[in-house]
Each structure stands twice: as C-alpha cells, then as structure tokens.
Amino acid sequence: MSVDERVAPASTPIQVALLGEISTWRSGVLAPLPGTRARSLLVALARDPGRSRSAQALIDEVWGEDPPRSPMNALHTQVSRLRAALPDGALEIGPAGYRLAVPRHAVDLTRAEDVARRLRGRGNGRSVGPDEIRDALALWRGDPGADLPGGAAATELAADAAVIRGQLEAAELAALVAAEDWDAALPKARAHVAAEPLDEQGHAHLMRALAGLGRDNEALDVFATFRKRMVSRLGADPSPALVALHTEILRGGRPGDVAAPLLASPDRTAIGLRAAPNALLGRDSDIAEIERLLTSSRVVTILGPGGAGKTRLAHELGARAATGTSVALVELASLRSSEDVVAAISSTLGLSEVDIAPGRLTVSRVHSARERLREALSAGPMLLILDNCEHVIGACSEVVADLVAAGDQLTVLATSRSPLMLASEAVYPLPPLAIDEDDAPAVQLFTARARAVRPTARLDPEAVRSLCRTLDGLPLAIELAAARVRSLSVEDIGRRLEHRFALLRSHDPTSPERHRTLHAVIDWSWQLLGEQQQIALRRLCRFPAGFTLDAARTIAEWDGVDDVVEAVEGLVNQSLLSVSETSDTLRYYMLETVREYGEEQLASAGEESEVFVRQRVWAGRFASEALRRCRSDQVALADDIDADHDNLLAVLRWAVERDDAETVSTVFPVLGGLWAIRGAHSEVMNWTPRILGSTADADLTDVGSELVAYTFLLAAMHLVFGGQTRTLAQARIRLRHLLRDHHDLPSVTSFAVRLILSLGSGRRLARVVADGVRSDDPETRAAALSARASMRENLGDFRGAMRDAATVSELCGAIGDVWGTAMASQFLGSLHSQSGRYRHAVRHYQDAVEGMRKLGAQEEADQLWGFQASALIADGDVEAGRKVLAETVLEHRGAGTGTDDHQPDEWRAAATGSLAEIDLADGDVERGLARYREALDMVYPRMLSEPYADPFGMMLAASVVCAHVLHGRSEMMVEFVPKLAEAALSRLGQAAYQDLPVTGAVAAGVGCFEIAHGDSDRGLALLALSARARARQDIASLRHPRHVAFAVEHVGEDRWESAQNRFGNWSRRAVRAEILDMLASSS
C-alpha cells in the first residue's frame, strides 16, 4: 500500500504485532510467538512487509556476529517454525529470497508508521483524523523489542517505534488543541514539554491549554521558563509567533484567537526542486527507508555509483518533504572548486552578505558568507539537499558539519559517490533496481520508457529481464537502452550491448552532459580518482565476482600502485566498488558497467598480458590451497570456490582460448570439483572437449600431479556416461601416462585413476576395488567401499551394499569428509527406500540433506527432500509427505541456478509423481493418474536420448504403469508398455548398464499390465522375477505387497505361490537374463 493511501480501519485484524510482545494472529487472537530466533526472524521480515530479504541478510540479522555452524539449515528450521505460526501463505520464498506476504496494514508497526508518514507528508496530514491517530496509538501493547535478544535488532525496533509514537503523540496533541479540548490536551502537553524541553510548538500548546482553562499565570510562567532556557542553552529568543501568543495572553485574549498564526502552516519554500518528468518507479522501499533515516539522523547521504538514480530520488524526497517543511536543493555538479560550495548554497538560497540600514542607502553590517549561511539555516526547520557532492567532498563535509552544529532545525540530505565521513551522518547505499522479483522495478522502468518511444513495441518480459540484468539494474543505463527501442528490438539491443558505451547515448537536451552517455557517467567518476586509484581500477576489472585484498595485491600492486589497500579504499569511497562482509574477510565488487570501462582503460594502458600473468599466479595459489583443504575443510572451501567461481571461470576461458595447458589443468579441477559436488554435471561435460583439446600433447610437468590427475579424472568420469568413446579414450591415455610417470600421487587419487582405467573389464575392476578395500588409507578404503556398494546394489546384493555403505559413512565421518558422508547417507536412504523400509530411508535422507546444504548443493538437497516425501507417502503417512513436499516446492522455487540442465525437469517430475500419489491416496484417481502422465512426459524423452540408463526415469515410468493398472486404467498404457520394454532392453540389456533393482521395477510394471490384460502366465512370471530381483519400491505404486495383492485378486493365491516357487532358487544373473528375454517379447 502506498503511504498516501488511507490505512486500514482499526477493525482490520493485525496479523503480526511488534509493538509490545511479538505475536501473530492465530485462532482469532494475537498469540505470543515462542523462540527468540523466530521472533528475530519475524521482526526482520515484518519491518518491511512485502519486501524480499536474502537468506544471508536474514542470517546476519537473526544471529548477528555469532552464526550457527550450519546457517542455512538453522534458517530453514526457523522459517518452518515461523510459517506454522503465521496465516497460511503469509511467508513466501521467491528468487529474491524470503518475504512476509501480508499488507502493511496487517503489521501494527507499519500501520502506525503509515499514519505518521501521512501526518508529515502531502497536505501536512490534514487527511488524518483524530480517531485514526488514537487508533494508531492504541496499537502499542508494551515495550517494542523487550522480548528480543539484546542487540541491534531490539535497539532499532525500539528506536523506530519511539520515533513513530512521538510523531503520533505530537499530532494527537495538536488535534486536541485545535479542537480546544483543553482538559485532554493539558496532561499530554505537559508530558511532551518534559520530553522535549526546547520544542517551541509543544510549549505553545501547553500555554494555550493553560490559558484555555483560565490558568493564565501558569501559561505566562511557561513562557518565561522557556525563554530563559532558550537564552541559556542556545543564545536565542523565542520566535515572534510565540512572543505574540505570550502578549495576547497578557492582554487577556482567548487562546483560540491568538493561536491561529502559530498553528497555521508555516511559510515554506521549495527552492531548486525540478518537476518530475515522469513517475519514479521501483524506489518505494528506498524512499521509506531514507525518510525513516531523515527522522533520526541530522545528515543522510544517498550513496551510489553514477547512473544509480540518486539525483532523481533526491528530487522526489525533496518534493515529498516540501509539503511539511522548507526545502532547498543545491546542485553541485557544475562546481570546479571546493571553495565554491558555500557560494553555491548561498546563491541558491538568495542570501546577501550585507545588511541595509532602514531608511538609508548605506551598508549597516557586512557578514561573512559562512556566517550568513549559518544564520539562515538555523532560523527554522529546513531540509537542505546537496546533490553530487563527490568532486567537492572535502568542502561539503566541512560545510555540513558547520551548519549542523549551528542549529538543531536543519537536516541535510546529500547525494554522492563517496560518504561525507561525518559522525552525524547516516549512509544509505542505493541498490540497483530489483530485476528478478515478480513485477521487478527494472523491468517496469524499461517497459514504461520503451512504450513512451514506441507504444507498439513487442517487449518479451524475459528478454527485458535479461537486458536489465546485463545493465546491472542501473536506472540510467536502463533508460538509455529503452530509448533505443525507437529503432531496435529488445533482442537487438541485447546483442549490441557488447558495445554498450557506443549504444547507450541520450539525445535528450534536458539531461546533464555527464548523463548523456553511459560512458560519460563512468568517466565523471574516473576523473575524480587519483592516479593509483585509476591504475588499480583498470587492473581489478578482471575480477567479475569481486575480490579480496589478498587477491587485489597479487593483481594490482605493482608499477604505479604502492599501497593497494589505500587504492581500494579510495574506489570504495567513490562508489566504484561495493563492499560485502563475510565471516572472516571483506569482499569488493565492481559493477559490470564499471568493469567494462576498466577493460577499456586496461587495453589503452597495454597491461592486459601482465594482468593475465598475475591472474595465473592468483589462480595457481587458489588451486594449491584448495587441494590442501579439500579433505579437511570442505564446507568453507566450497563457499570460497563459490565466491570466486566467476573469477576462476574467466581465467579458465582465457586459458582455453590461449591453449595455456598449465593454467587449464590448474583451474579446471577446482571448478569441476565444485560442479560435480553440486550436481552441475552438464557443465563438466560441456567443458571436457575444450579441456582435452587445449591440453592435448602438452607438457604438464610443472603442474602438480594431483591437479593434473583430477583434470582428466573429471573428464573421464563424465565421458563414461556421455557415450563419447573417442574422447574418453584420449582422457584415459593421459591418465595411463600419469599413473606410469608419477609415483607421488596420493593413495586415493591413484585408486580413482586405476578405477577409471579398469572400467569395461570386470575382473580387473573387481581386483582394483578389492585392493582399495584392503588399503590402510581411510580415504582410499572409503572410495573403494563406495564403488563396491554401488556394484552390489546394481547386482541386487542389498545386504552387502548396506554393510559397505554404513562403513563408508563411518570412515567419511571420521576424516571430516562432508560430501562423502552425505553421499553415503543418500545411498543408505535409497537402499532402505527401494526395499520398503521407508522410515529408515527418511532418517538417512535427512542426514544427506544437511550435508548437501552445508556444501551449497541446494538443488541436490531439494531433490532429497522430494525423495523423503515420496518415502513418507509410500509408508502411508500422506499428511507428513504432503507437508514435506509443500516445503520442498517452496524451497525449490527460490533455489539458485548452476545445476545440471535436466535436473529441474527431473525434480519437477519427481514432485509431480509424489503429488500424483497424494491424489491417489485421497481418492482422486483421475487427477492422480493425469499427474503421473504429466510426470512421464517430463522424463520420457530423456530416457530415450541419453546413452546410459536413467534409473529414476525407468523407475518413474514403471510406477506410472503400475498406478494405472492398480486403479483399473490399464487400457491407457497399451501403447506405452511396449515402449517401456524396448527402452529397458536398450538401456539395461545384456551389453548395457546393469542395474538389477531397476530392471526388476520395469518387470513389475510390465507384469502387472500383462495380468490386467489377460496374459496371466507371463505377468505372474515377470512379477515373481521382480521379487527375486529385489525390484525398487521407492514409490507407493511400486510397493511389492500391492502387486502381490493385485495378482492374487486376479489369478488366485495358488497360482501366485506356484510362480514364486518356480524362481525361488534362481541366481541373480539368471533372473536378470530371464527378465530381459521376457521384455524382448513384450517390445
């Protein structure tokens, strides 16, 4: 809701209460919220309802400087608790983070804040009635923040609430005085004066109330006391209006008659403000926060890079403030000297340095410019706006400090690319416009400006969003790009943005020269930099993901830059770098637009080659450190690689383009390892041919053998499943040579190389795995047992696989291998789930989720939550499964990118399949089966296109068939069952990938179908074989007892037992061969 709209009536229930004991609306009443962390989380979201907050921002606010060991897990726990305490749908998760999806009038703090804001906003609050003010004050139920843990959150909530309450109480007092309700006004006036002993308006109200009650002498005493206080503390007399009130009371006048001049709106001026050319989009929350700062700070600086929209925002804030106080906006962009700042302010205000004596043409008194300015700006309430302070920052700091100290009625709002560095200053870093939210302001701005120049333009929202993302969400850049829609499509503009500085030019003669092109915006800041800062900026532009000071020293501290710390600090102060603080270091970021400008300067300086050499050094140190930490510090290492991901990727791209084999084999294993852990396998696959091409026949003796090994191991492992035989052979040749020439490889690395080289040879593979299992090195033994567990599971040796996986979990836990432990838990969960032990599966899946989230593998964690939901549903606990699935869907909508291209479809298919089982359990058969067919459509094309078996796809397909058969709709599967049998033969056949439990699941699906369609002998045989194959039962429709009950119902118990006895002593190999033979006749 806009602050200019009326707030909801008092009868509208408050859903979230912060003004007292923190509570939420439940069962028709406000109930206290248990848990200090949950209360802190609610406050962080409810202070600005509707605004999205990132996970990291919430972690910082809730836990401050003492975050938990697993912050994301802890946050998810608190989110779940809070969601249970809020109305349904009130807590949402989207691409931009978490938000409280309730209107502002549903939160007591923001309802009261909106009333207070309207009181000081347009019309000076005349649209706010006394009843509305009283209702707002009645929202207070106690001391805000008292039930929060001590810290910034509690202090800020209490301070904000106190400011709002003070404004409301002042307005209530003014309304009572205006209504001449002297009895009600008197105690409130006394309380106000006691709290604000220098507030002239409060003393006027007190004098009027006393006089109205016939207590003139007391009113005169109030004036005398106030006058002495003003003289002793400020060296000033009361205003003429208060003196006039005093005089009228002395004469015995009525307070209503004498009060009018004082209570009428004071003379206000608005100097230097320009009328807005169009609506300001996307800055509502920024305006609200800056207005809040202006009520609590004497000096507020809007900080941001060129083109961020600081000037436009300052004019809007000035226009809003001008309805309640005098405002003067002084433009400083044209100044060339710091000495001109006082003159510019004085000129804008129309001040003269001389007094003319009455009745004479001679000068009575000459003032200094600074003296006259102090007098003028301390005479009454005023908002002074200083626009574009950065190039005269020293003079602005000095002048503002002087003016603020001269009187307490002046508030200063500055816009700058660097802060004023004053103790009285509150800094507001102006963020770029949001891009990824629903109804994103950046998209709205582009659309509005584009429609203005070509109303019929086709504006695809996703194309516009991508364009705005490329432009860093900078309003100026977006407006310049939108202007090109006059002659170009959005897609054309996007393609041409490689040369953005040439493309983005303005022909608007009313815009400042420095804003006519995007290049001029950055150039304006460049000219304000010292030489060391300019050199540092052009060298540091090669860090697209930001950098630490250590990285900056490696890249920039040479030949012209003696102290990179000082240079970086200067760039931060000029808003050319932004700063983010992690738990142990600061990280600095450069906007893409600034980086491109830096690239220009780097090329002009001829330093590109030297900077790349230094980037190689930085990347080499990073990789060596990563190798050292990869076994003992995985969680922090994953976060560090993630932070520098785009930097390492840029180095890898440049190295591949230059066939720099040493750098390629240094960087690729670091990135590839993270991609593999987080499930981004297609990323590894896409890079593998280029990696092998750029390292072909290269001498890599100067690169650590372990890094080289992991380079080709990552390539080979992914090529095994990609079916690229020739490319795989190249990787295996390199690994074979490495194993022959390097005897210094760690045991686990050597084992991994030998394992890859033995694939395709059953005996050799078994020997390598057996040797690894007997190793004294715990990492090697864990890796070998993992391989053996997988082999045993595929062969149907459930118990053997279970023993091996449990041992792997213990070994990995002992050595601190978080990823290995999570993978073992996932495997154990899968083993229990496929054998129908669903409660055990849920516990292991939960352990796996925790490990994956620690490593940032959010997509993998979400899939595991989906598996957990499926296990719960299969176990009959449909409500628990429904709840977990709802959580998973919500989490997944906010998950990051960077995972394998097909995984979102796989995840959606799994979720849709689980929803289908919920519908079937609820009795909605048609909807459930329709969902199942929808899930099948998602995975079936990939089942046929990939050269290796897709266990999940096969399992889902089998469950779709079983679900239709078990619910009497087998005729809908007539065309699909032969296709499933054919797909199973090609992907799971004798010469293909061997996975007996999945093969058994397919046999169960086809067997049930055959029984339903009259071929009971074949159906019973396939169903009995599926039991011997230990067919997967992860999904409710794949549960073996349901299949048996279906068979007995159709053919009788005797025939079923006979079929079971027929295959009772068959070996697993014979079972597999028989299933495949029978499927061949079904395809």
- Looking at 168, 203, 221, the residue that finishes a domain is 168
At 499, list the tokens: 């040369």
C-alpha dihedral sign at 838, 839, 840, 846 = positive
Asked if 115 and 211 sit in the same domain, the reply is no
What pLDDT does 551 receive? 94
Asked if 664 and 571 sit in the same domain, the reply is no
Is residue 8 situated within a structural domain? no
Q: How far are the Cα atoms of 1030, 1039, 1050, 1052, 1061 from residue 1058, in angstroms, in the given order?
A: 18, 21, 15, 10, 5
The helix (run of H) or strand (run of E) holding residue 858 is: helix 858-874
Is residue 1044 situated within a structural domain? yes
Asked if 596 and 679 sit in the same domain, the reply is no
At 565, list the tokens: 């710390």
The helix (run of H) or strand (run of E) holding residue 581 is: strand 578-581
Tally helices (H) and strands (E) across the chain. 50, 15
Task: Count structural domains, the chain.
Answer: 7
User: What global pTM score does this model have?
Assistant: 0.60
| DSSP single-letter state for residue 517 | B
Rg (CA), the chain: 36
28: phi then psi, degrees, rounded to nearest 5: 85, 5
SS3 761: coil
Query: What are the mean pLDDT values of the chain's consecutive 10-residue runs (1083 residues total)?
Result: 36 83 85 89 88 79 79 79 84 74 89 78 54 88 89 80 83 86 90 81 89 88 84 66 83 56 45 76 86 88 85 90 85 70 79 41 48 74 89 88 82 90 85 78 85 84 84 78 78 67 48 50 73 94 89 93 90 76 77 79 92 94 92 88 88 91 95 86 85 90 92 87 71 88 89 90 89 95 95 89 96 93 95 93 93 84 85 92 74 39 62 91 93 88 61 90 95 93 83 81 95 92 94 94 94 93 90 92 72
- Looking at 574, 606, 638, the residue that finishes a domain is 606
Q: What is the 3-state secondary structure (H, E, C) of 39-63?
A: HHHHHHHHCCCCCCECHHHHHHHHH
Is residue 10 situated within a structural domain? no
Asked if 190 and 94 sit in the same domain, the reply is no
Distance, CA of 676 to CA of 679 (rounded, Å): 5
The helix (run of H) or strand (run of E) holding residue 731 is: helix 725-741
Asked if 187 and 329 sit in the same domain, the reply is no
Is residue 714 situated within a structural domain? yes
823: phi then psi, degrees, rounded to nearest 5: -65, -40
Is residue 500 situated within a structural domain? yes
928: phi then psi, degrees, rounded to nearest 5: -60, -45
Distance, CA of 940 to CA of 954 (rounded, Å): 9
**Contact predicate 445/475, CB 8 Å:** yes
| Domain coverage including residue 252 | 180-261
Q: Which residues are registered as beta bridge partners of 331?
A: 387
Query: Which residue is listed with tokens 């703090």?
Result: 109
What pLDDT does 895 receive? 34
Say which CATH number the domain at 20 has. 1.10.10.10
Say which CATH number the domain at 216 has. 1.25.40.10
Compute CA 689 distance to the chain's CA centroid, rounded to the nearest angstrom: 33
561: phi then psi, degrees, rounded to nearest 5: -120, 105
Asked if 936 and 1044 sit in the same domain, the reply is yes
**Contact predicate 571/580, CB 8 Å:** no
Distance, CA of 479 to CA of 516 (rounded, Å): 11
Say which CATH number the domain at 336 has. 3.40.50.300
Asked if 343 and 476 sit in the same domain, the reply is no
Asked if 663 and 553 sit in the same domain, the reply is no
Asked if 322 and 413 sit in the same domain, the reply is yes
- Other Cβ atoms closer than 10 A to 1076: 19
**Contact predicate 93/891, CB 8 Å:** yes
Q: How far are the Cα atoms of 294, 414, 573, 798 from residue 427, in angstroms, in the given order?
A: 11, 9, 12, 62
Residue-wise DSSP of 488-547: S-HHHHHHHGGGHHHH-B---TTS-GGGSBHHHHHHHHHHTS-HHHHHHHHHHTT-TT-B
- For Cα atoms 1078, 1080, 1083, give the angle at the middle one, nearest 5 degrees: 115
Alpha helical stretches, state H, 996-1067:
996-1012, 1016-1028, 1040-1051, 1053-1062
Q: Which residues are registered as beta bridge partners of 16?
A: 24, 107
Asked if 200 and 294 sit in the same domain, the reply is no
Asked if 511 and 539 sit in the same domain, the reply is no
Is residue 121 situated within a structural domain? yes
- Other Cβ atoms closer than 10 A to 318: 22
Is residue 221 situated within a structural domain? yes
Query: How deeply is 358 buried, as exposed, middle or buried, from its count of CB atoms within 10 A (0-12, 13-18, 19+)?
Result: exposed
At 366, list the tokens: 């000459």
Asked if 502 and 559 sit in the same domain, the reply is no
> Would you state the torsion angle of the CA atoms of residues 959, 962, 964, 969, taken in this order, to the nearest 10 degrees?
160
**Beta-strand pair 326-331/270-271:** parallel
Q: How far are the Cα atoms of 74, 999, 1019 from residue 866, in angstroms, in the given order?
A: 20, 23, 31
**Contact predicate 94/437, CB 8 Å:** yes
Percentages helix, strand, coil for the chain (3-state, rounded to 5) are 65, 5, 30
Q: Which residues are registered as beta bridge partners of 384?
A: 328, 412
Residue-wise DSSP of 891-956: HHHT--S-S-TTHHHHHHHHHHHHHHHHHHHTT-HHHHHHHHHHHHHHHHHHHHHSSS--HHHHHH
Say which CATH number the domain at 936 has. 1.25.40
| DSSP single-letter state for residue 458 | -
What pLDDT does 65 receive? 75
For 936, how many CA atoms within 13 A lie in the half-sphere containing its CB?
22
Is residue 967 situated within a structural domain? yes
For 713, how many CA atoms within 13 A lie in the half-sphere containing its CB?
22
- Looking at 229, 261, 293, the residue that finishes a domain is 261
The helix (run of H) or strand (run of E) holding residue 384 is: strand 382-387
Distance, CA of 295 to CA of 749 (rounded, Å): 62
